[in-house]
Every structure is written in C-alpha cells, then in structure tokens.
Amino acid sequence: MEKYLEIKKRFELNKNPDIAVQMEAYMRYKFKFYGIKTPERRALYKEFLKGELKNKVVDWEFLESCYEDEHREFQYLVTDYLHKMQRYLVYDDAPKILGFAKRKQWWDTIDNFNRIIGRIGLVDTRINQLMLELSLDEDFWLRRIAIDHQLSRKDKTDTELLEEILINNLGSDEFFINKAIGWSLRDYSKTNPEWVRGFLNKYRSKMDKLSIAEASKYI
C-alpha cells in the first residue's frame, strides 16, 4: 500500500485538469484521468520500476491496488510494470494477468496484455492451449488477446495455432474482433506474405471486409 500511495501522490502533484478532459473525451468518457501524458507519466515512476526490477519479484498486491484506482493512469502503470518485469512472469501468472484484463476493459489495456501474455508463450508452450480456449470465450476482449498474442513474433509465429484461433472468430460482427483478425494477419504478412495470401484465399468468404482490408495492407 505504501508504494501505491507514493505513486498516487506523484500523480496528484502532476495532474492537469485540462489535459484530463481531452483524455477522457478520447476514451469516450469510460475512465477518469489525471491528465498526465505518457512520457511525463512514465518519468514519474521510471526509477521506481528500476527498483522493482532489481527485486526480481512481481508485487501483485501493489498491482491490484493500482488497478483498482479509478484513474486510468494507474492501469497504464500496471501494464508498464508487467512489461518491465516480463522476464519474471511465468505461466502460473497468466490467471492474474487475465484477471486484470477482465476488468476496466478497453483496447488500450487489452492490447498491452496480449503482448505480455504472448511473451510468456515464447518460453512456455502451455500458453498455446490457454489462448486456444480463450479464442472461444464469451468475452470478446479476451478473444482479442488470443487473436493478437503472437504479434511481432515473425518467424516464431505458430501458424497452426494462429489459423485455428482466427477460424474460431470468423463471422463476428464485433469491430474489435474483426480489427484484431486483420491486425494479426497484417503483422504476419511482413514475415510470410504467402501464408497470409493463402489464408485470405481460403477464408475470404467468411471474413469481414475490415479484416480483409487490414490483412491486405502490405500484400
């Protein structure tokens, strides 16, 4: 609690109500903001995160306190913290990370959690089955994590897993799902355009126009 209160004090001292109004409008008034832009926000806890990294232990109690805070900057701190501590995250931490992902949901945090989960998958293949299961979840935000968890893997992409996850989400009318499908294919097209062309040719009739447009951007 002491660490959380210290960060909260820093945020309070650096809040900007005018910028907060702009941020809240951009995020469709779903969250409250202090009005601290990303570079300034990260500067406020840069040294703190360095100290946490030296401890080599993820402080889940601290992260829970942060995630519960009504200000969106605290959810961003949680994702920054997890990125910083990535090397110490293991498969058994996935339920905790997904626990955050199930709350205060919007694309800004979800698209950080997918990378965090995805990197765990690079060192523990049990994540593959978890993502396959998640690709069928009723919560489309969790499905989005599954769809995009392999972003930036390049030649380490598990194409069999990617195809199965994408198939599980074809035919959706959810914007954030169709965008994610296109995004995942577009990203992989930079590494293997032929595979992506093959996927598009095979499943085009089942794909949303948005997904096709996104996937075809570089091919």
Q: Would you report the helix, strand and coil content of the chain in percent, each value rounded to 5?
A: 70, 0, 25
Please, what are the averages of pLDDT over each run of 10 residues along the chain (219 residues)?
Answer: 96 98 98 98 98 96 98 98 98 98 98 98 98 98 98 97 98 98 98 98 98 97
Q: Report the predicted TM-score, pTM, of the whole model to 2 decimal places.
A: 0.95
- Check residue 153 and give its pLDDT: 97
Residue 113: which residues within 8 A CB-CB, separation 6 or more?
79, 97, 98, 100, 101, 145
- Check residue 1 and give its pLDDT: 81
- Check residue 140 and give its pLDDT: 98
On whether the CB atoms of residues 155 and 173 are closer than 8 A, the answer is: no
